[in-house]
Each structure stands twice: as C-alpha cells, then as structure tokens.
Amino acid sequence: MTRNAQWGYDTGINALLPGERSTQVDLVTVHFGDVTAKAEAFIEASEQLVGAIAWVRSPRLLDAMRTRPVSLIVNKEFVLRTPGKERQALDKLRRPASGHDAAVRVAGDCSRGAFTGLMHHKFLVRLTRGIPAAVWTGSFNFTSGAAGNFENAVEIDDPGVAMMFYDEFRLLWGISEPLDFRQGRPAGTRPAGRQAKKKPAVQKSVGAKKPTPRAATKTEKKPARAAPKPAKKAA
C-alpha cells in the first residue's frame, strides 16, 4: 500500500492486480483498476466536453480539463459554497463548452443531509464540432482517492449512444444551479407543509338499538299522600 499525499489515506490496492486491464471490442473499450490515465487520455483527445460527475477533485484530471472548453454538473453540497479545496479545485475550470453559460453547476438535494438525493452520475460526453461523438462512463469519480480503488470505466465510441447521454446532460443542466446556490432543496421546490393531525372519527355501530327506558317500580308508581287537613274547632 502507498500513502496518498493529498487526502491522507492508504491507496494502491490495484497493486494486488498488476498489469493492463483494458479490453476493446468494436466501439467499446473497458478499463479496470486505476483508470486515471485512461480518463486523462479521453479528455485530451476531445475538442469539448460536457458531463455529469458526482465529485471532481483530481488535480491531474482538472488540469487536463482546463485546457479545453468543458461544462460539468457535480453533486450539490454546501461545502462548495465556501472557500476551500473542493471549491478551489472546481474554480480552475473557467472555459464553458459552446452554448453554455458556466463551466460548473450543481444538481441534487442536500436539504436533509450530505448523502440524500445525490447527483450520482459519472459520465463525460465528447463533442466533436459541437456534436456528441463518444462517451466515458463507469464507477470512477474524478478524485485522487479513487485512483486507489477497484474501479471500472467504459469508453463508447458511438454517436448514437453519446447522444443519449447528451440528452440526459441537457435535462440535468435545465434544473441545475450555480455553485453559489441559495438553498439545499432543488431550485423551484418547497418543503412539504405540515399537515394538522386529524382526530380519529368515532365509528357508530351499525344497527345498534337505542336503550329502552327503565320501567318504574311500584313504589315510584304510587302518588305521594297529601298532608291531612287540620280539624275544625267547635263553635
């Protein structure tokens, strides 16, 4: 194992499986292991790039992307609104792809915590003369730490497939927000209102008879005796 200088944890598990682990079949190339160099080559072979990648922090890949127009959507996190290494890394990208007003925007829902409602995609679309031409996708996030993981990546050199990913990118771009977003919820949404608790309805038994009035007892039936009249005095 080796020590990662930037993030400070052990990496290098791919040393357990040394050697090239890439295979090409027709228009598809599959990579396994540390695919950082393969991702860098895909970027450098592209005129322009658009895509959605949850986390982009690798200095090596950021340096490759800053040399060409690129527009990315990353996962929405409050940490991106504050000056720090995550925000500084993305601020390196300053040249948006043609037809886009930003190099980096965010999408997702972080109102209930850091790991709910993620924008968890990991794909790049290569644009050639503005037209989708190829796709890079897989499990690999563009971070230095991911270089030490068992990862996979797929290159698909097919314009039809590239267009499908481009359409997904455009849908996400339409609901994306700037890095200085205002709220954790997705833009244009409101929190669910609190509903008043309803009292449980009292169920009436079907066919229940009204109680029969109690019959009066003999004592209750006898009228009260009148008080005796006073006797008349003799004349």
CATH of the domain at 102: 3.30.870.10
Q: Is the CB of residue 81 less than 8 Å from the CB of residue 179?
A: yes
pLDDT at 220: 56
Q: pTM above 0.85?
A: no
Query: Which of 116, 111, 104 lies closest to 187, judged by CA?
Result: 111
Residue 89 lies in a domain: yes
Give the number of domains in the chain: 1
Q: Is residue 104 part of a domain?
A: yes
- Average pLDDT (82-86) is 87
Q: Is residue 215 part of a domain?
A: no
pLDDT at site 216 = 60
Within a domain: 140:
yes
Which range of residues forms the domain containing residue 171?
22-175
Distance CA 195, CA 182 (A): 26
Residue 214 falls within a domain, yes or no?
Answer: no
- Using left for φ > 0, alpha for ψ between -120 and 50, and beta otherwise, residue 60 falls in alpha
Q: Is 209 part of a structural domain of the chain? A: no
Give the pair of three-digit tokens for residue 227: 């008080």
- Indicate whether 194 pLDDT > 50: no
Residue 4: inside a domain, yes or no?
A: no
Would residue 63 count as lying in a domain?
A: yes
